[in-house]
Amino acid sequence: MSALHIKKGTSKHSAYDLKNPNADVIETHTLAVVVDNEAGVLARVIGLFSGRGYNIESLTVAEVDQKGHLSRITIVTTGTPQVIEQIKAQLGRIIPVHEVHDLTVEGASVERELALFKVSGTGDKRVEALRLADIFRANVVDSTLESFVFEITGTPEKIQAFAELMRPLGLVEVARTGVAALSRGA
């Protein structure tokens, strides 16, 4: 008698696939929103998220066109594909919003984040922190006899990996800017 080869989501007691083919997975999307640079716009955009219970993983805002008085809001959020589409549609209906781009689905994009890490330690831990910083291409922007402040730029995953390695070496404090992203190409 041969062994049963049971696929994930099925049961040895049934001939039917019990896995729901319509079940949605949670996805992470990076949205770039161009808005008028005026008071209250950020509050309206953020209010859309909080009012509907959507989470914001990362948020950055800066003026990108002084003459046109435009700012760019970069939002990293999570949700099912239907929720992401709903967020984009609702953002597009806010009056001071000019453009909404989903960089995750529009093609290749570049994402970067800046972070500062304060690491306290002496002896071997201090040497190891410097060695790891060199591997990750982090810069020492401040140094005392007891601590370093490292500056690192990269993808959010790189920032997180650096944090995990610094934690046992005496990580004291972290400051992160949030994701800045642009689509690649013309």
Instruction: Write out the DSSP string of 9-28.
Output: TB-TT-SSB-S-TTPPPPEE
What's the distance, Cα to Cα, between the start and end of the chain in Å? 61
d(CA 66, CA 64): 7
pTM value surpassing 0.85: no
Under 8 Å between Cβ of 30 and 112: no
Give the H/E segment covering residue 138: none
Under 8 Å between Cβ of 26 and 79: yes
Taking only the tens of pLDDT, the chain with its 186 residues reads 555 555 555 545 555 555 555 667 889 999 999 999 999 999 999 999 988 889 999 999 999 999 999 999 999 999 999 999 999 999 999 989 999 999 999 989 999 999 999 999 999 999 999 999 999 999 999 999 999 999 999 999 999 999 999 999 999 999 999 999 999 987
Residue ranges covered by each domain of the chain: 27-102, 109-183
> What pLDDT is stored for residue 20 in this prediction?
56
> Which residues 6+ apart lie within 8 Å of 83 measured at CB?
54
- Please name the residue ranges forming H helices in the chain: 41-52, 81-93, 124-135, 156-170
Q: Do domains 27-102 and 109-183 have the same CATH topology?
A: yes
> What pLDDT is stored for residue 186 in this prediction?
76
The CATH class of the 27-102 domain is alpha beta
Taking domain 109-183, whether its CATH number is 3.40.50.1820 is answered by no
